[in-house]
A and B are shown apart, each in its own frame.
Chain A
Amino acid sequence: MLEFMRSKRVSVARKDPETFSIQAELDDSIYSLGLSLRVRIRDLKCLSIKGEWRRWTTPECPRALGFLDQAEGFILGPGIEDRIHKTLGRNACRHFANLLIECAQVAQATQKMVQWEQAKESAPDLTLKAFMAGNGSKRPGLTAGGDGVPDSREGSGERPGIQVVENQGQPVPVPEKPERNNDNKLGLTPGNGFMVDLHIHTFPASACASDSAGAMVAAARERGLDALCLTDHNHVWPQRAVDSLMDHLNFRIFRGNEIMTDQGDMLVFGFDQAIETVIKLKELADLVERAKGFMIAAHPFRGFLTFGTGQLGLTPQKAMEREMFNHVHAMETLNGKVTQKENLLAAQVAEGLGLPCTGGSDAHDVSSVGRYATRFNDALASEQALVEALRSGACAPVSFFT
């Protein structure tokens, strides 16, 4: 039985020698919408855009039409997808953004067709293949979007050269009286112990983060943490840079790495190898084991219980069967970027599998540093000590700062 269907149609005609007229429609089981564009052939500049809703969902969806003109002036050439997602996708509606991206791809292809036709005027036998081989067939990267589940901010993008950036006098928002939070439903109540935020992102090492390592450390210290761990995306911090930060800020900092695998993100410790691209989990597990490191499944159920997909009846028992848990040493059961329900499911699965649990804020800016942390029994003076403590299982996730 058909559960869902989406049809998209885009067509291009030449309105005049300078301009494409593009008509586009998206019609699916939920939405129906249209776009009408005028695009300059020479440089693919969007001269005008008009949109129309035919079927939509919420009473506020019509507001999206008021934001479509943000695309006027866009050059719909290679690489425009991100900009469309970030403007139309966020301010209007991701389904209009999805359709505009199709229009951009089609405009680029039609421009090539026109250029080939022009080239044929002086070389009638020129085939499309030969023409493209001569002109390069570079096409932009595509991003579908429109998934109903906004993609997370997580991920590594292009990043500038990494350097130690101190907190250059920027104010760090901290509570007036930093207090440890005792309202801890999912982890242990913080008491004595060595408190480490095991999951922190910094800029520029993580392109999606917005505060420097120096600023994150300043916030951690203000809030009463004993240490934090830098876990930037697929990034190995040089020991020297971290030593210099520790000296300068007089605060314990550990190095970790959040590595993207085919089974989701993994936090690894005691592992220095640079992994530049998405790696198979099993492969990473072998490498970490060989290095005698430690691997934690980060936010293992992020998005599993979101709108639409949360109704599938995923029980802890069923979730325990996921093969990936055979390859990790522990699970992050308190993560600051997922819902309480998703953390709770992680805690239930970890308990069922007998896996140690950890907590970390997953902070990308100073505001959430220390939201969750991991409590160790003893002070940890080195990364080696951290890995050994993790391996011994003598740690517990805590809700630390709200």
Chain B
Amino acid sequence: MSNNILDFSMNRCTSVRAIDTTRLKSECTLRDSFTDARVEIIVAMPDLTISSVTGHFHHAWLRESDTLGPVFDKLVDVRVGPGMLKIIKGLVGEAEHLKELTYMVEECCHGVILSLTKKVLLKAPDDEAAKADFYSNMVMESIRLYDRCAAFAKGTPLVEGYERRNP
């Protein structure tokens, strides 16, 4: 009870690698007290469409998915970007044993987007004032960031410029 031994452990790792200049490979592995699963997607650039999905899923009580091929094939040609979550869920369906796999595909897609985000963020200057300008400009150029989190909330410093321009 209070022996400090863990009741449950979960470890999820998502990694994105460039296969070549036109393809990214994004892989998500999940190991927890019940699950051992892996999903890998390959995404074609520059329009970020999924060209293949593979993986496996073993679980302590949910149905083992030994015929995942047809499920994964449905996701080929889906584009990684806004709106993808509803499309992926809609195509895969709501079967109990597929929910975790759907989530892992989504994690792979988020990994792809974050790998591209990282490239932009690397351009942020070190100097604090210049850094604030950099992020202020970012909101100005990407209205979808406005009021979507604490850093870009209405009335906060980084969105002042945007709000002045769009009263």
Contact = CB atoms under 8 A, between A and B. Distances in A.
A5 B121 CA distance: 15
A13 interface: yes
A114 interface: yes
B115 interface: yes
A129 B17 CA distance: 37
Nearest to B76: A262
Interface string B95-137: 0100110110011011101111111110010001001100100
Interface stretch (A146-154, A237-245, A376-384): A146-154
A63 B153 contact: yes
B144 A1 contact: no
B118 A30 contact: yes
Given A137-B61, A149-B144, A314-B46, A260 B90 contact: yes
A264 B11 contact: no
Interface residues of A, number: 88
A54 interface: no
A138 B12 CA distance: 21
Contacts of A318: 46-47
A144 B105 CA distance: 9
Contacts of B132: 58-59
B5 A13 contact: yes
Contact of A137 (B5, B7, B62, B116): B62
A288 to B, nearest CB: 18
A89 B85 CA distance: 16
A102 B12 contact: yes
A63 B156 contact: yes
A314 B116 CA distance: 14
A31 to B, nearest CB: 9
Contacts of A152: 82-83
B157 interface: yes
Interface of B: 1-2, 4-18, 24, 32-34, 45-48, 60-62, 74-75, 77-79, 81-87, 89-91, 94, 96, 99-100, 102-103, 106-107, 109-111, 113-121, 124, 128, 131-132, 135, 138, 141-145, 147-153, 156-158
Given A12-B9, A102-B10, A141-B94, 13 more contacts: A7-B11, A60-B150, A63-B151, A63-B153, A94-B149, A109-B8, A138-B96, A150-B144, A278-B87, A306-B144, A307-B138, A309-B81, A311-B120
9 tightest A-B CB contacts, nearest first: A278-B90, A303-B82, A4-B115, A144-B106, A312-B46, A60-B151, A308-B117, A63-B150, A142-B103
